[in-house]
């Protein structure tokens, strides 16, 4: 692994946090990183909901089958997309834009020595409905994901899942099936 890319290889899903809070400065840095992501035709359809209240974190964790650890996080960011702001009002472009913002948050959290874990919301209808109702989202705002944040109890080892068998040169062939 190229050491210049350590900030990428160190990015791992963290599900256990200390009680130390995430500062407003750290959150602002994460949001600046998120909004530095590429966006189709620079439409920036992303919207971010910061959740710090323990009761709200617990409620949101109940909507996410694999997100029970969210209730022990210092905070969470709910990443939503505004379909009316997306390029060509396209759900696909909106999801791509929001996903790029999510990845920037995850990488920035690693750079700030924070732990983070991405919990998927979209396209699960029950999760979308629960987050929408809980956060009182208008119909044009669609929840895409939730990121738990906190100071990690333990920092996982860096890794890459690089597999050369998954790389195709030039064009697909029957050998790639």
SS (H, E, C) 92-135: HHHHHHHHHHHHHHHHHHHHCCCEEEEEECCCCHHHHHHHHHHH
How does residue 176 score in pLDDT terms, banded at 50, 70 and 90? Answer: confident
How does residue 175 score in pLDDT terms, banded at 50, 70 and 90? Answer: confident
User: Across residues 6-28, what is the average pLDDT?
Assistant: 96
- Please count the structural domains in the chain: 1
Q: Are 107 and 11 in contact (CB under 8 A)?
A: yes
| CATH number of 24's domain | 3.40.109.10
Number of C-beta neighbours around residue 166 at 10 A: 8
pLDDT tens digit sequence for 44-102: 999 999 999 999 999 999 999 999 999 999 999 999 999 999 999 999 999 999 999 99
């Amino acid at each position: 692994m190229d050491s210049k890319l350590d900030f990428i290889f160190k990015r791992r899903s963290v599900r256990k946090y200390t009680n130390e809070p995430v500062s407003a400065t750290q959150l602002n840095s994460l949001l600046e990183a998120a909004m530095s992501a590429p966006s189709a035709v620079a439409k920036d359809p992303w919207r971010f909901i910061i959740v710090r209240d323990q009761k709200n974190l617990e409620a949101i964790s109940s909507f996410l089958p694999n997100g029970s650890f969210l209730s022990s996080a210092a905070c969470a960011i709910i990443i939503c997309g505004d379909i009316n702001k997306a390029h060509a009002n396209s759900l696909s472009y909106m999801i791509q834009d929001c996903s790029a913002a999510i990845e920037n948050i995850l990488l920035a959290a690693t750079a700030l020595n924070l732990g983070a874990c991405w919990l998927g919301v979209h396209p699960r209808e029950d999760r979308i409905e629960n987050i929408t109702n809980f956060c009182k989202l208008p119909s044009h705002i669609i929840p895409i994901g939730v990121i738990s944040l906190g100071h990690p109890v333990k920092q996982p080892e860096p890794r890459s899942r690089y597999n050369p068998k998954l790389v195709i040169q030039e064009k697909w062939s029957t050998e790639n099936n």
